[in-house]
């Protein structure tokens, strides 16, 4: 994959917006957000809405689509799951892996996240690997240990050739959906820790070029300061991405 250093503005819709609500959102968003060559915009709708999304956004190749999760195996008797290759067939080009809600609600531990990332890469999707500490872990002084463990587990499981294809999202669990955002200094510090953990296993060049997004209560009123923080290469947005006006303002933010 060729290296693309443009910042990423990603929307994680979680379990919101079926096909009809997806079309209604795009009616508004595509008017409010006009294509810009200096950034990438990616949506992660529920997988059942991917087709409706792609149809409604077919005139906008600047916007790409991903799925929020895939199974760690290619196919099989796994009721309710989708595979990475099915996501490709449906037109997706990205997949999240390791979102904290998957880790907490569905038991996606480091080993499972690593297996999912392998599937995602094998299928040709671009992964965004989410890492981040809980409040208890941060208060116990374990920020570096947690991030190094989560990053290391994925890099150890993925072939060296795939290391450069990974996009990362630092998402402090205490900032997701809480309205509490990491300060730009906190984000810069954590991104540096993630980058160092990447360097340890994947080397300095891969670490320097790695895109690391920040996620956790990103809103139109804090996007500028977060994007100015050193080492922040984009954002992964939950709640605010459900509102066309808010997400258009985030995607249209000023860039350095």
CA 151-143-138 angle, to 5 degrees, is 140
Residue 201 CB, nearest approach to ligand PEP (Å)? 24
- Spatial distance between the Cα atoms of 101 and 173, rounded to a whole number of angstroms: 9
Nearer Cβ to ligand PEP, position 169 or 202? 169
Please report, as residue ranges, which positions from 11 to 40 form the binding site for ligand PEP (by CB under 6 A). Answer: 12
With tokens 């968003």, the residue in question is 29
Residue choice 155, 217, 247, 248 for contact with ligand PEP (CB under 6 A): 217
**Catalytic annotation present for 99:** yes
Binding flag, residue 236, ligand PEP (CB under 6 A): yes
Nearer Cβ to ligand PEP, position 12 or 22? 12
Cα within 13 Å of Cα(226), Cβ side: 31
Please report, as residue ranges, which positions from 118 to 177 form the binding site for ligand PEP (by CB under 6 A). Answer: 171, 176-177
The helix (H) or strand (E) run that includes residue 207 is helix 204-209
Nearer Cβ to ligand PEP, position 216 or 231? 216
Residue choice 7, 162, 234, 238 for contact with ligand PEP (CB under 6 A): 238
User: What stretches of the chain adopt beta strand conformation (E)?
Assistant: 8-12, 40-44, 63-67, 94-97, 126-131, 167-170, 212-215, 234-237
Residue choice 41, 126, 143, 218 for contact with ligand PEP (CB under 6 A): 218
Query: Which of 99, 101, 163, 191 is labelled catalytic?
Result: 99
**Catalytic annotation present for 105:** no
Cα within 13 Å of Cα(201), Cβ side: 23
Question: Residue 25 burial by CB count (10 A; 0-12/13-18/19+): exposed, middle or buried?
Answer: buried
As annotated, the active-site residues are 99, 171
Q: Note the residues at the interface with ligand PEP (CB under 6 A).
A: 12, 171, 176-177, 215-218, 236-240
């Amino acid at each position: 994959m060729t290296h693309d250093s443009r910042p990423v503005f990603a929307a994680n819709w979680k379990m919101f917006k079926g096909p009809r609500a997806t079309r209604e959102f795009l009616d508004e968003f595509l008017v409010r957000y006009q294509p810009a060559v200096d950034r990438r915009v990616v949506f992660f709708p529920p997988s059942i809405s991917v087709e409706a999304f792609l149809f409604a956004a077919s005139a906008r190749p600047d916007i790409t689509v991903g799925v929020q999760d895939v199974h760690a195996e290619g196919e099989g008797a796994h009721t309710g799951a989708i595979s990475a290759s099915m996501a490709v067939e449906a037109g997706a080009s990205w997949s999240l892996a390791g979102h904290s809600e998957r880790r907490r609600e569905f038991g996606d531990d480091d080993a499972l996240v690593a297996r999912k990332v392998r599937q995602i890469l094998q299928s040709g999707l671009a992964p965004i690997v989410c890492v981040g500490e809980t409040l208890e872990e941060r208060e116990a002084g374990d920020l570096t240990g947690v991030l190094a463990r989560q990053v290391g587990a994925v890099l150890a499981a993925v072939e060296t050739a795939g290391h450069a294809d990974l996009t990362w999202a630092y998402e402090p669990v205490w900032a997701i959906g809480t309205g509490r955002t990491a300060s730009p200094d906190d984000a810069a510090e954590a991104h540096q820790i993630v980058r160092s953990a990447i360097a340890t296993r994947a080397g300095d060049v891969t670490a320097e070029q790695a895109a690391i997004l920040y996620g956790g209560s990103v809103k139109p009123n804090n996007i500028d300061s977060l994007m100015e923080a050193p080492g922040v290469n984009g954002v992964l947005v939950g709640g605010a991405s459900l509102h066309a006006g808010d997400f258009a303002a985030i995607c249209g933010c000023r860039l350095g």
